[in-house]
Amino acid sequence: MDITGHRYNIAHDGFTVIDDIYTSVEVNAIINAIESADKTGPLFRQTDDVFAIRQFLKAVPHVSPLLFNERLKSVISNIFGDGYFVVKSIYFDKPGSSNWFVAWHQDLTISVDRKIDIAGYGPWTVKYNQFGVQPPLDILQDNFTIRIHLDDTDEGNGALKVLPGSHLKEIYRPENIDWQQETEVNCNVQAGGVMIMRPLLIHASNRTTNNRKRRVVHIEFSTVELAAGIDWAEKI
């Protein structure tokens, strides 16, 4: 594995794709663990366009040892170093018939355990009884996200499309995107592979057009202790 190349991609482009983190047997074990979970709780959301599990590692705790195999732990340690911990996890199952799409955006909010007035933190949101807040920029610049793909994913079933290097432009509003300067790239990922990205990377995904599922586990990591009075809502 070209660790130096992946480090460069993340620093320069804001993302990288690494294949073969999981075997087909491991992928099936992860899927079976998810399908065996009790889906009646408040962390599970089902619509015609998407099935999602919020606080995924809390809702389906027996999946953690399957996800954090030696290959994934080695990738995290070798690319980012030690000291990172999980701060958010979501599972998305986008059916083959889905019309769900996501517009261009950066991931600017983090999930925290309470809402209090703290300098540098804001604006605040509340979604599904979960407090979200935009933290100081340096926290977003340090964090990273791993997207674990359980299906082959390309532009036909909603693979992320990104603007390489946009993570270096701090807060970059979609309405201010300079399309004369930016180049859209599709991040195709094979089942068992991962995409790693910085939260400030501008990204989006299209509607599904090929009638194939797209199942992804989204896990966010940080090394940062938040300001006194609040903590990460899902810290593991």
Predicted local distance difference test score (pLDDT) of residue 49? 65
Structure tokens at 11: 């620093």
**For the segment 75-94, what is each residue's pLDDT rounded down to a tens digit?**
999 999 999 999 999 999 98
> Residue 174 gets which letter from DSSP?
G
In contact, 91 and 216? CB cutoff 8 Å: yes
**In what helix (H) or strand (E) does residue 94 lie, and over which residues does it extend?**
strand 85-94
Question: Mind listing the domains of the chain with CATH numbers?
Answer: 3-222 (2.60.120.620)
> CA 223, CA 118: separation in Å to the nearest integer?
20
Q: Per-residue confidence at 99, pLDDT binned at 50, 70, 90?
A: confident
**Among candidates 203, 98, 197, which has minimal Cα distance to 156?**
98
Looking at every residue in the chain, the average pLDDT score rounds to 94
Q: Per-residue confidence at 98, pLDDT binned at 50, 70, 90?
A: confident
pTM of the model: 0.95
Kindly tell me the burial class for residue 192, based on how many C-beta atoms sit within 10 Å of its own C-beta (0-12, 13-18, 19 or more). Answer: buried
